Amino acid sequence: MEQERFLRDVMAAHGDMVYRLALCRMQNVQDAEDVYQDVFLRLLQEPDRDWDGEHLKAWLIRTALNRCADLHRFRLRRPVLPLEAVPELAGETDRQAAELWEAVGRLPEKLRTVVHLHYAEGYGTEETARLLGVPAATVRTRLRRARLKLKDLLGGYDDGE
């Protein structure tokens, strides 16, 4: 019973974050749902620990990223479902935000992931680097490349860069 309560609490606190990350990475609702389910099943299989909030959140993100990588390697992917086709995610966002996240969805996976972790989840470059297992300079480079690609995709103006 205690394990069930723990799982429900973790899913309530971090389930949306795991799902959004999986959807960002997989670009497919069915695959994102599979990742979501697998992450929480793996949490149940973990030995009892005294999880603190940030350690648990980092473990969930790392496990979700690893499961996404597993699915990319081992499964034939289904067609991509655009984010605007998922009404509960589109919600009441304004048109500009929807256009921006649609453009983010067209970025290569490595760029999409750092943009999601940095802007949607609020992780700094050092934290993102630890989660992805890459140097912080790589994260900063990917963020810069993502911003440049987004500027091209969205028809941004030249701001002197």
Length reported for the chain: 161
Phi, psi of 78 (to 5 degrees): -80, 165
Query: SS3 for 92?
Result: coil
Strand blocks (E) in 57-161: none
Q: Within the chain, what is the greatest distance between any pair of CA atoms? A: 59
Mind listing the pLDDT tens digit of every residue in the chain (161 residues)?
688 888 899 999 999 999 999 998 888 888 899 999 999 999 988 877 777 878 899 999 999 999 988 887 765 544 455 555 555 554 544 677 777 878 888 889 899 999 988 888 888 899 899 888 999 999 999 999 999 998 888 876 655 54
d(CA 68, CA 135): 20
The reply to whether the predicted model has a pTM over 0.75 is no
